Structure 1
């Protein structure tokens, strides 16, 4: 697969709520917290979901205590389950499929997340062996998303994730090394995976090609920070301040991470991510 095709796949992974039956509002469990104003069990419709599968308070979610809803992004798993796996049948008119539909949705969501990471990896210049392995994994994942509901529910997601985790780690190391030596002409960034940087100040720092996989960056001050080539896979960016930061070539950064952070019009994002409406 060429880079342009991979880029198109990555950029196509966007939620289309108009073709989904409110699955994120029904299938998922919600725990009352600073992100959600209520407790809600998985499989129970949110009280804010209307008869047309739309949110009654969509324009005021943050003010009403549902900040977490503005962060969530299924990458298009919702419409895939609604329109393809269940052929446009909705769970209100067909209550007999509700339980299975709600169980399939989180499986599809995880498959789409893996597809997003693998397709992004294929947009970079990598070795032939890496490119070949990434292509194979992408094809496998795409085939899985086309299976029927019962087959999807039989997938062992832990075993599915394991080879992908190793492959993405290898890709990250390769890309960050190449960026450091051939693009930025700097020493490769530090290995800080899992670092606890909660509330710390890194404003204006040069963190290019740093490994921040799984790092805790809650309320971290990253204003005007150079974050190009930084690996953010699994990092917690809730309330991190990215105002003026350069994330143009950050690796494996998701819309959910960006939605959970703070930023402004000067924050530079990768092309496949959108500036959240709540950023000032």
Structure 2
């Protein structure tokens, strides 16, 4: 599998993210919703009635969520195509399994990216073993999935992802006189226009509304970074590490923004570029 395989296939899912997950009325959601309660925009066919207008209707949060393929896995494999509407006895269990599966698939997505780097040859065996172990966890029956210590498993995986980041960024940083390493993770609204952040570590950084226009963000580690409303217009994100489509969707860019080949330009970027 490649990292492109770890994306949602809503046609094969029972709208689990629209039911299982809670959200509060905010700039990202137009109203409150408790976990286990179907969103009022969810149709009988499990598709969203306002999918093409989510941002305009106040549901920006939906446009930046990614299940990494967990939705179709739970729907079609774990529960063998039995949907929650017709199987009320297992509905609550399904809604509890889904977020756990999402975490496992997120880890698999990162591990598959890591194992495809030439720089990680020295830890390929460990990465492949981690992939196999995580994949086995996704094969478990619902009751066993609910008993998993996901935090402990994530901690083990994180060690490999940290090593991956160090190995991939090492060659870049070895040739830089100024590494521009960002030590603070509190970068909300930061003025970083045109800054050379090539090979930087932005893991878990809060880059909400940060100005990253024309910045060099190549070979930069973005795992867990919050890019909501960050301006990456004209920025170079090629070769960035652990950058996901959801993070790109949360940011604002334009036709000059350079993305990794595995990611696509969000529709709202195109609209902004044409205005």
1:60 aligns with 2:53: yes
In structure 2, the partner of 1:5 is: none
Given the alignment, which residue of 207, 216, 221 partners 2:197?
Answer: 207
Q: Does 1:229 align with 2:222?
A: no
Q: What RMSD over aligned residues (CA atoms) do the two structures have, in Å? A: 1.4
5 Å-filtered alignment, 1:1-280, equals 8-181=1-174, 185-187=175-177, 189-192=179-182, 194-280=184-270
Distance 1:252 1:128 in 2: 17
How far 1:127 sits from its partner (Å)? 4.7
Are the structure 2 counterparts of residues 58 and 127 from structure 1 closer, same or farther at C-alpha, using a change threshold of 3 Å? closer
Deviates more, 1:162-171 or 1:231-240: 162-171
Inter-CA distance 188–84: structure 2 relative to 1 (3 Å threshold): farther
Query: How far is 1:213 from its partner?
Result: 0.8
Instruction: Report the Cα distance in structure 2 between the residues aligned to 1:64 and 1:10, rounded to whole angstroms.
Output: 31
Change (3 A) 1:40 1:265: same
Q: Deviations over 1:117-139 (max 9, x none)?
A: 11111111235442111111111
Change (3 A) 1:204 1:85: same
Cα distance, 1:191 vs. partner? 3.7
Contact 1:189–1:211 (CA under 8 A) maintained in structure 2: no
Paired with 2:120 and 2:70, the residues of 1 have a C-alpha distance of: 30
Question: Is the contact between residue 193 and residue 214 of structure 1 (CA under 8 Å) also seen in structure 2?
Answer: no
Give TM-score, length-normalised by structure 2: 0.94
Whole-Å separation in 2 of the counterparts to 1:24 and 1:65:
17
Inter-partner Cα distance in structure 2 for 1:31 and 1:106: 17
Question: Do 1:177 and 1:188's aligned partners in 2 also have CA atoms closer than 8 Å?
Answer: no
Note the alpha carbon deviations across 1:36-92, whole angstroms, 9 max, x for none: 011111111001111111111112111111110111111111001000110011111
Measured in 1, the distance between the counterparts of 2:208 and 2:85 equals 38
* Per-residue deviation, 1:194: 4.8
Q: SS of 1:43's equivalent?
A: coil
Given the two structures, how large is their TM-score scaled by the length of structure 1? 0.93
Deviation at 1:24, TM superposition (A): 0.4
Any unmatched runs of 5+ in structure 1? 1-7
Secondary structure of 1:279's partner?
helix
| Whole-angstrom distance in 2 between the partners of 1:249 and 1:180 | 14
Unaligned 5+ runs, structure 2: 271-275
